[in-house]
Amino acid sequence: MALIGALLLACAGMAGLCLGLERHYKQLMQRLPSPVLRRGLRVLGWGMLAASFAVSVLGWGWAMGPVAWFGLISLAGLGVVFLLPYTTR
C-alpha cells in the first residue's frame, strides 16, 4: 500500500512542478498562468514530493525508504513526460 501511495504522491508532485513552469502550463492550458498560480503549483509539487518521501520512509523504514523514493520519483517523472503529449487540446 505504501508503494501505491508514494507513487501517486510522487506523480502529483512531479506534475505540480511541471505545471509550475510557464512553458509547460501554456502547452497544456493554452494560456499563461498568473505568478501566484505558478508559485502555488510549485509549492504544492514540492509538498507532494515531501509527502511521498514521508510515506516511503514510513512504509520501508530509513534504510530502504529514501532509495525507494528516488526510484519512485524517477518513475513518476518518466510517467509525466510520457503522458503530457497525450493531453486533450
Task: Provide the pLDDT for residue 87.
Answer: 67
* C-beta separation of 16 from 75 below 8 A: no
Amino acid 44: pLDDT: 96
Q: How many CB atoms lie within 10 A of CB 6?
A: 27
pTM of the model: 0.86
Strands (DSSP E) found in 1-89: none
Q: How far is CA 70 from CA 9, 40, 63, 65, 66, in A?
A: 13, 24, 13, 9, 6
Task: Please give the DSSP secondary-structure letter assigned to residue 84.
Answer: G
Q: What is the pLDDT of residues 31-71, one digit of tens each?
A: 898 999 999 999 999 999 999 999 999 999 999 999 999 99
Over the stretch 59-69, which tens digit does the pLDDT of each residue have? 999 999 999 99
Please tell me the predicted confidence (pLDDT) of residue 88. 62
| 23 Cβ contact list (under 8 Å, min separation 6) | none
